[in-house]
Amino acid sequence: MLKIKKIKLRDSILLDDLSLVFEEFSFDHFCVIPVEGINSKYYNEDFSNVLKISFVFNKRIFLDDNELIEKNDIFADIFIIEKDLISWFNNKFGIDKFRIIEKENVFRLFFNCLSEEERDFRKEKIFISDSAKIHEGVVIGNNVFIGPNTIIYPNVVIYDNVYVGANVKIHSNSVIGADGYGYTEKIEKIPQEGGVVIKDNVEIGACCCIDRATIGYTYVGENTKIDNFVQIGHNVKIGKNCRIVSKSGVAGSARIYDNCIIAAMAGVKDGIRIGPNSILAGASMATKNIPPNTIYAGNPARPFNQYFKELAKK
């Protein structure tokens, strides 16, 4: 099961910011979770004994889309929000629902919190179902769960903090849970503390890379099929019954909802949404949100009919 990093409150740079709420919260540790929350069933954790904090430092958050992927049951106790975003956050979600601390330079605070302690999963357990089949040359890190009837083919590498469900197939030379591509403007590496969740009946082709989340988890929904040579970035969430074809790439924090097709050599920009039952045609680049039940093509991607009318004019 996944592991989440806990940080001692008394040693934290957040101590002064949280002093006003200590009367209500009496925890010794806190952890950082995504704004959209996490699902406790993937974690070997007792979250009742840790203060949960989320940071809001840009508008690329997904507090309103949980039902489309999987209902989350744990959310932050405290939201630390960039002052410039308070009005936007209030209009979108309503601040009365949350305990909020306003700050400046929230990203730097988030970065410093993730940097406060090194990850250490050396003592964590690995669970592999008796009915799973692990081929030769497979490398499995710590804090990994592999469910029943799953097949891991030769030379797959599964890093720490990965949950793999039942009846999953991961083909040769794929890498699950490597660090996400996250750097500051000064090219400082942003710690990648999260994990990967792969649900039941997923198939992942050869030579694919699915990156761990910065916090929380990168998520691949039930019965989704991923072709060879596909890159899935950190904190991406992919719904059920999707098909993602060879040499396509999905950048960090994008959302691909149920029953979508991402055709060969297509690209999905970071942080955008591909609505359910939609198709992104081959060699297309999605730079903006794509509505449900549509077909988009081209670079930048636009409605299929519009794209081919433009080609005909040329």
pLDDT tens, position by position, 173-216: 999 999 999 999 999 999 999 999 999 999 999 999 999 999 99
In the predicted model, is pLDDT for residue 299 greater than 90? Answer: yes
Residue 122 lies in a domain: no
Domain count for the chain, please give it. Answer: 2
Cβ burial of 228 (10 Å; 0-12, 13-18, 19+) is: middle
- Residue 221 and residue 154 share a domain: yes
- Residue 251 and residue 300 share a domain: yes
CATH code assigned at 212: 2.160.10.10
- Residue 201 and residue 69 share a domain: no
In the predicted model, is pLDDT for residue 168 greater than 60? Answer: yes
The predicted pLDDT at position 253 comes to 95
Residue 120 lies in a domain: no
- Residue 279 and residue 209 share a domain: yes
- Residue 134 and residue 79 share a domain: no
Residue 2 lies in a domain: no
From 86, 114, 142, the end of a domain falls on: 114
- Residue 276 and residue 207 share a domain: yes
The predicted pLDDT at position 113 comes to 87
Residue 86 lies in a domain: yes
Catalytic-role residue among 29, 135, 171, 234: 234
- 135 catalytic? Reply is no
Q: Kindly state the average pLDDT of the residues 241-246.
A: 98
From 93, 114, 135, the end of a domain falls on: 114
CA dist 188 and 194 (Å) reads 18
Side-chain half-sphere CA neighbours of 239 within 13 A? 21
CA dist 7 and 24 (Å) reads 19
The predicted pLDDT at position 29 comes to 85
Residue 209 lies in a domain: yes
Residue 119 lies in a domain: no
Neighbour tally for 286: CB within 10 Å: 26
Question: For residue 31, what are the domain limits?
Answer: 7-114
- Residue 13 and residue 52 share a domain: yes
- Residue 187 and residue 43 share a domain: no
Question: 49 or 280, which is more confident?
Answer: 280
In the predicted model, is pLDDT for residue 20 greater than 90? Answer: no
- Residue 177 and residue 93 share a domain: no
- Residue 256 and residue 131 share a domain: yes
First vs last C-alpha separation in the chain: 54
Residue 50 lies in a domain: yes
Q: How far is CA 92 from CA 44, 76, 89, 96, in A?
A: 33, 17, 5, 12
From 50, 79, 114, the end of a domain falls on: 114
Q: Kindly state the average pLDDT of the residues 154-174.
A: 97
- Residue 25 and residue 160 share a domain: no
In the predicted model, is pLDDT for residue 17 greater than 70? Answer: no
- Residue 146 and residue 95 share a domain: no
CA dist 218 and 196 (Å) reads 5
Residue 257 lies in a domain: yes
Q: Kindly state the average pLDDT of the residues 121-147.
A: 89
Neighbour tally for 1: CB within 10 Å: 18
- Residue 113 three-state SS: helix
